[in-house]
Amino acid sequence: MRTETLEVPTPDGRADAFAAFPDDGGRHPGVLLYPDAFNLRPVLEGMARELAGHGYCVLVPNLFYRHGPAPVVDLPEHIGEDVRSEVIGRVWPLIKEHSTERILRDADAYLGFLGSRPEVADGPVGVVGYCMGAALAMRTAAARPDRVAAVAGFHPGMLVTDASDSPHRLLADLTADVHLGVAEGDLSPEAAAELGEALDAAGVAHDIELYPGTVHGFTMSDTDAFDASALRRHWDRLLALLARTLTAG
Protein backbone atom coordinates (compact mmCIF):
# COMPACT_ATOMS: atom_id res chain seq x y z
CA MET A 1 0.00 0.00 0.00
CA ARG A 2 0.99 3.64 -0.29
CA THR A 3 1.02 6.06 2.64
CA GLU A 4 1.33 9.83 2.85
CA THR A 5 1.70 12.46 5.52
CA LEU A 6 -0.20 15.43 4.18
CA GLU A 7 -2.18 18.56 5.01
CA VAL A 8 -5.92 19.06 4.54
CA PRO A 9 -7.11 22.66 4.04
CA THR A 10 -9.89 23.60 6.48
CA PRO A 11 -11.74 26.86 7.20
CA ASP A 12 -9.49 27.28 10.25
CA GLY A 13 -6.11 26.38 8.79
CA ARG A 14 -4.41 23.23 7.56
CA ALA A 15 -4.85 19.90 9.34
CA ASP A 16 -1.91 17.54 9.19
CA ALA A 17 -3.04 13.97 8.56
CA PHE A 18 -1.94 10.46 7.72
CA ALA A 19 -3.40 8.68 4.70
CA ALA A 20 -3.12 5.14 3.41
CA PHE A 21 -4.21 3.91 -0.02
CA PRO A 22 -4.30 0.54 -1.78
CA ASP A 23 -1.49 0.53 -4.32
CA ASP A 24 -3.19 -1.29 -7.18
CA GLY A 25 -4.06 1.64 -9.43
CA GLY A 26 -7.79 1.26 -8.78
CA ARG A 27 -10.34 3.46 -7.06
CA HIS A 28 -11.57 2.39 -3.65
CA PRO A 29 -14.12 3.55 -1.05
CA GLY A 30 -13.03 6.25 1.36
CA VAL A 31 -12.89 5.93 5.15
CA LEU A 32 -12.46 8.83 7.57
CA LEU A 33 -10.87 7.56 10.76
CA TYR A 34 -11.09 9.69 13.89
CA PRO A 35 -8.49 8.97 16.60
CA ASP A 36 -9.08 8.65 20.31
CA ALA A 37 -8.22 11.40 22.79
CA PHE A 38 -4.50 10.62 22.48
CA ASN A 39 -4.81 11.69 18.83
CA LEU A 40 -2.83 10.80 15.72
CA ARG A 41 0.12 8.52 16.49
CA PRO A 42 1.72 5.28 15.22
CA VAL A 43 -1.02 2.93 16.46
CA LEU A 44 -3.63 4.87 14.44
CA GLU A 45 -1.36 4.85 11.40
CA GLY A 46 -1.19 1.08 11.77
CA MET A 47 -4.98 0.86 11.78
CA ALA A 48 -5.11 2.95 8.60
CA ARG A 49 -2.63 0.60 6.94
CA GLU A 50 -4.73 -2.39 7.97
CA LEU A 51 -7.85 -0.88 6.40
CA ALA A 52 -5.96 0.06 3.24
CA GLY A 53 -4.85 -3.55 2.99
CA HIS A 54 -8.53 -4.49 2.80
CA GLY A 55 -9.20 -2.10 -0.07
CA TYR A 56 -10.06 1.28 1.50
CA CYS A 57 -8.58 4.76 1.17
CA VAL A 58 -8.15 5.99 4.74
CA LEU A 59 -7.63 9.48 6.15
CA VAL A 60 -6.61 9.98 9.80
CA PRO A 61 -6.52 13.67 10.80
CA ASN A 62 -4.77 15.39 13.67
CA LEU A 63 -7.83 16.43 15.68
CA PHE A 64 -6.00 19.25 17.45
CA TYR A 65 -4.19 20.79 14.46
CA ARG A 66 -5.17 24.29 15.58
CA HIS A 67 -2.55 23.88 18.31
CA GLY A 68 0.18 22.55 16.01
CA PRO A 69 1.18 19.38 14.19
CA ALA A 70 0.85 15.97 15.81
CA PRO A 71 1.86 15.01 18.39
CA VAL A 72 0.34 18.13 19.94
CA VAL A 73 0.91 16.63 23.39
CA ASP A 74 4.05 14.58 23.98
CA LEU A 75 3.15 10.95 24.60
CA PRO A 76 5.16 8.10 26.06
CA GLU A 77 5.73 5.13 23.78
CA HIS A 78 3.36 3.15 25.99
CA ILE A 79 0.51 4.89 27.84
CA GLY A 80 0.31 2.87 31.03
CA GLU A 81 -2.11 3.39 33.87
CA ASP A 82 0.66 5.06 35.83
CA VAL A 83 0.75 7.99 33.35
CA ARG A 84 -2.74 7.88 31.82
CA SER A 85 -4.33 10.42 34.17
CA GLU A 86 -1.49 12.87 33.71
CA VAL A 87 -1.68 12.62 29.92
CA ILE A 88 -5.46 12.99 29.95
CA GLY A 89 -5.02 16.10 32.08
CA ARG A 90 -2.87 17.66 29.37
CA VAL A 91 -5.20 16.61 26.55
CA TRP A 92 -8.46 17.60 28.26
CA PRO A 93 -8.25 21.36 27.53
CA LEU A 94 -7.86 20.54 23.82
CA ILE A 95 -10.90 18.26 23.94
CA LYS A 96 -13.01 20.94 25.63
CA GLU A 97 -12.10 23.43 22.89
CA HIS A 98 -13.14 21.00 20.16
CA SER A 99 -16.70 22.30 19.83
CA THR A 100 -19.48 20.86 17.69
CA GLU A 101 -19.04 23.75 15.26
CA ARG A 102 -15.34 23.00 14.86
CA ILE A 103 -16.02 19.28 14.48
CA LEU A 104 -18.47 19.83 11.64
CA ARG A 105 -16.33 22.41 9.84
CA ASP A 106 -13.46 19.98 9.94
CA ALA A 107 -15.65 17.05 8.91
CA ASP A 108 -16.73 18.86 5.74
CA ALA A 109 -13.07 19.54 4.93
CA TYR A 110 -12.04 15.92 5.51
CA LEU A 111 -14.93 14.52 3.48
CA GLY A 112 -14.23 17.04 0.72
CA PHE A 113 -10.59 16.01 0.69
CA LEU A 114 -11.48 12.34 0.34
CA GLY A 115 -13.88 13.20 -2.46
CA SER A 116 -11.15 15.11 -4.31
CA ARG A 117 -8.61 12.29 -4.35
CA PRO A 118 -8.33 10.31 -7.59
CA GLU A 119 -7.79 7.10 -5.59
CA VAL A 120 -11.20 7.40 -3.89
CA ALA A 121 -14.21 5.88 -5.62
CA ASP A 122 -17.40 7.82 -6.21
CA GLY A 123 -20.09 7.05 -3.69
CA PRO A 124 -20.51 7.14 0.07
CA VAL A 125 -17.77 6.80 2.67
CA GLY A 126 -17.44 5.19 6.05
CA VAL A 127 -16.55 7.04 9.25
CA VAL A 128 -14.87 5.26 12.15
CA GLY A 129 -13.98 6.64 15.58
CA TYR A 130 -12.35 5.54 18.80
CA CYS A 131 -13.11 6.96 22.26
CA MET A 132 -14.00 10.64 21.66
CA GLY A 133 -13.60 9.91 17.95
CA ALA A 134 -16.76 7.80 18.09
CA ALA A 135 -18.75 10.92 18.99
CA LEU A 136 -17.07 12.80 16.14
CA ALA A 137 -17.93 9.95 13.77
CA MET A 138 -21.58 9.99 14.83
CA ARG A 139 -21.80 13.77 14.48
CA THR A 140 -20.25 13.58 11.00
CA ALA A 141 -22.60 10.84 9.84
CA ALA A 142 -25.68 12.65 11.19
CA ALA A 143 -24.67 15.98 9.63
CA ARG A 144 -23.74 14.51 6.24
CA PRO A 145 -26.20 11.72 5.45
CA ASP A 146 -25.56 12.44 1.77
CA ARG A 147 -21.93 11.30 2.16
CA VAL A 148 -21.76 8.74 4.97
CA ALA A 149 -23.16 5.21 4.64
CA ALA A 150 -21.44 3.55 7.59
CA VAL A 151 -20.42 4.74 11.05
CA ALA A 152 -18.55 2.69 13.61
CA GLY A 153 -17.42 3.62 17.09
CA PHE A 154 -15.30 1.61 19.51
CA HIS A 155 -15.01 2.13 23.26
CA PRO A 156 -17.02 5.32 22.63
CA GLY A 157 -17.01 8.38 24.82
CA MET A 158 -19.35 11.39 24.99
CA LEU A 159 -22.10 9.89 22.85
CA VAL A 160 -24.77 10.47 25.50
CA THR A 161 -24.39 13.59 27.62
CA ASP A 162 -26.65 16.17 29.22
CA ALA A 163 -25.71 18.80 26.62
CA SER A 164 -28.39 20.08 24.28
CA ASP A 165 -26.16 19.12 21.36
CA SER A 166 -25.19 15.68 22.66
CA PRO A 167 -24.65 13.38 19.65
CA HIS A 168 -27.58 11.16 20.59
CA ARG A 169 -29.93 14.17 20.31
CA LEU A 170 -28.88 14.94 16.71
CA LEU A 171 -29.60 11.71 14.89
CA ALA A 172 -32.88 12.55 13.17
CA ASP A 173 -31.24 12.78 9.73
CA LEU A 174 -28.87 9.84 10.18
CA THR A 175 -29.04 7.27 7.38
CA ALA A 176 -25.80 5.32 7.91
CA ASP A 177 -25.64 1.80 9.30
CA VAL A 178 -24.12 1.87 12.79
CA HIS A 179 -21.95 -0.47 14.84
CA LEU A 180 -20.82 0.46 18.33
CA GLY A 181 -18.38 -1.81 20.13
CA VAL A 182 -18.66 -0.94 23.81
CA ALA A 183 -16.35 -1.80 26.69
CA GLU A 184 -17.76 -2.65 30.08
CA GLY A 185 -18.48 0.66 31.78
CA ASP A 186 -18.49 2.80 28.62
CA LEU A 187 -22.27 3.31 28.70
CA SER A 188 -24.58 3.04 31.66
CA PRO A 189 -27.71 0.94 31.02
CA GLU A 190 -29.73 4.16 30.94
CA ALA A 191 -27.40 5.80 28.42
CA ALA A 192 -27.35 2.70 26.23
CA ALA A 193 -31.15 2.60 26.26
CA GLU A 194 -31.38 6.31 25.40
CA LEU A 195 -28.93 5.92 22.53
CA GLY A 196 -30.73 2.83 21.24
CA GLU A 197 -34.04 4.70 21.26
CA ALA A 198 -32.50 7.56 19.27
CA LEU A 199 -31.11 5.12 16.68
CA ASP A 200 -34.47 3.33 16.50
CA ALA A 201 -36.20 6.67 15.90
CA ALA A 202 -33.75 7.44 13.09
CA GLY A 203 -34.76 4.16 11.46
CA VAL A 204 -31.21 2.99 10.74
CA ALA A 205 -29.69 -0.47 11.00
CA HIS A 206 -27.61 -0.52 14.16
CA ASP A 207 -26.16 -2.60 16.93
CA ILE A 208 -24.61 -1.69 20.27
CA GLU A 209 -22.45 -4.64 21.20
CA LEU A 210 -20.80 -5.16 24.58
CA TYR A 211 -17.28 -6.55 24.22
CA PRO A 212 -17.14 -8.70 27.38
CA GLY A 213 -14.23 -8.39 29.75
CA THR A 214 -12.87 -5.23 28.14
CA VAL A 215 -12.05 -1.79 29.48
CA HIS A 216 -12.15 1.57 27.77
CA GLY A 217 -9.47 1.78 25.08
CA PHE A 218 -9.31 -1.94 24.28
CA THR A 219 -8.27 -1.49 20.62
CA MET A 220 -5.20 0.62 21.40
CA SER A 221 -2.08 -1.55 21.53
CA ASP A 222 0.01 1.26 23.03
CA THR A 223 -2.07 1.34 26.24
CA ASP A 224 -2.66 -0.96 29.21
CA ALA A 225 -6.31 -1.24 28.10
CA PHE A 226 -5.37 -3.26 25.02
CA ASP A 227 -7.16 -6.57 24.49
CA ALA A 228 -5.96 -8.60 21.50
CA SER A 229 -9.10 -10.74 21.20
CA ALA A 230 -11.33 -7.67 21.37
CA LEU A 231 -9.23 -6.00 18.67
CA ARG A 232 -9.81 -9.01 16.40
CA ARG A 233 -13.56 -8.83 17.09
CA HIS A 234 -13.42 -5.10 16.28
CA TRP A 235 -11.84 -5.85 12.87
CA ASP A 236 -14.43 -8.55 12.15
CA ARG A 237 -17.30 -6.16 12.89
CA LEU A 238 -15.78 -3.15 11.15
CA LEU A 239 -14.79 -4.94 7.95
CA ALA A 240 -18.23 -6.58 7.71
CA LEU A 241 -19.93 -3.20 8.12
CA LEU A 242 -17.80 -1.52 5.46
CA ALA A 243 -18.17 -4.40 3.02
CA ARG A 244 -21.93 -4.29 3.44
CA THR A 245 -22.36 -0.55 2.98
CA LEU A 246 -19.62 0.79 0.72
CA THR A 247 -19.35 0.21 -3.02
CA ALA A 248 -15.99 -0.87 -4.39
CA GLY A 249 -14.47 1.23 -7.14
Average pLDDT over residues 177-198: 97
Query: What value, to the nearest 5°, has the Cα angle with vertex 17 and ends 26 and 169?
Result: 95
68: left (phi over 0), alpha (psi -120 to 50) or beta: left
Contacts of 86 (CB under 8 A, 6+ apart): none
Longest dimension (CA), the chain: 48
User: CA angle, 155 as apex, 56 and 83 as ends, to 5°?
Assistant: 110
DSSP code per residue over 145-201: TTTEEEEEEES--SSS-SSTT-GGGS-TT--SEEEEEEETTSS-HHHHHHHHHHHHH
Q: How many beta carbons lie within 10 A of that of residue 243, not counting itself?
A: 14
pTM for the model stands at 0.97
Owning domain of residue 89: 2-245
Model pLDDT, residue 247: 72
Give the pLDDT confidence score for residue 244 in this predicted structure: 96
Domain count, the chain: 1
Task: Give the pLDDT mean for 185-200.
Answer: 96
Identify the H or E element spanning 46. Answer: helix 42-53
SS3 5: strand
Of 208, 72, 211, the C-alpha closest to 134 is 208
**CATH code for position 99:** 3.40.50.1820
At 115-159, the pLDDT tens digits run: 999 999 999 999 999 999 999 999 999 999 999 999 999 999 999
Q: What is the pLDDT of residues 199-249, one digit of tens each?
A: 999 999 999 999 999 999 999 999 999 999 999 999 999 999 999 999 744
